[in-house]
């Protein structure tokens, strides 16, 4: 990890039609990826919730929020991995304000 670590938060929405094991495996995959490139501060598993609007004919998604610290290059890589992972229907990574 670089010396210039920034605080970030990411929320990703998984396909809620996946099995519990598949969802747990995807969450663990992203947690491991973040831990390998930074430091996780907190994981907030929001669970299955109704989507504001249908996405690919889905009306429910499985939401997870992760707060983490990493170097400035990692968020782009995390978004790339979200984009190529089957089962991720929405994602966002934002830099948190320093306190």
- Domains, the chain: 6-95 (3.30.70.60)
- Contact, 91 vs 79, CB < 8 A? yes
Q: What is the pLDDT of residue 17?
A: 95
Which residue in 95, 35, 7, 96 sits closest to 27, CA to CA? 35
With cut-offs at 50, 70 and 90, classify the pLDDT of residue 9. very high
Buried b (16+ CB within 10 A) or exposed e, 37-64: bbeeeeeeeeeeeeeeeeeeeeeebbbb
Burial class for 69, CB neighbours closer than 10 Å (0-12, 13-18, 19+): middle
pLDDT tens column, 12-36: 999 999 999 999 999 999 999 999 9
């Amino acid at each position: 990890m670089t010396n210039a670590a920034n605080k970030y938060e990411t929320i990703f929405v998984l396909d809620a039609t996946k099995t519990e094991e598949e969802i747990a495996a995807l969450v663990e995959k992203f947690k491991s990826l973040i831990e390998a490139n930074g430091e996780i501060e907190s994981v907030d598993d929001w669970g299955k919730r109704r989507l504001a609007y249908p996405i690919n004919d889905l009306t429910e998604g499985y939401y997870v929020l992760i707060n983490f610290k990493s170097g400035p290059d990692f968020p782009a890589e995390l978004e790339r991995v979200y984009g190529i992972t089957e089962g991720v229907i929405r994602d966002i990574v934002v830099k948190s304000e320093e306190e």
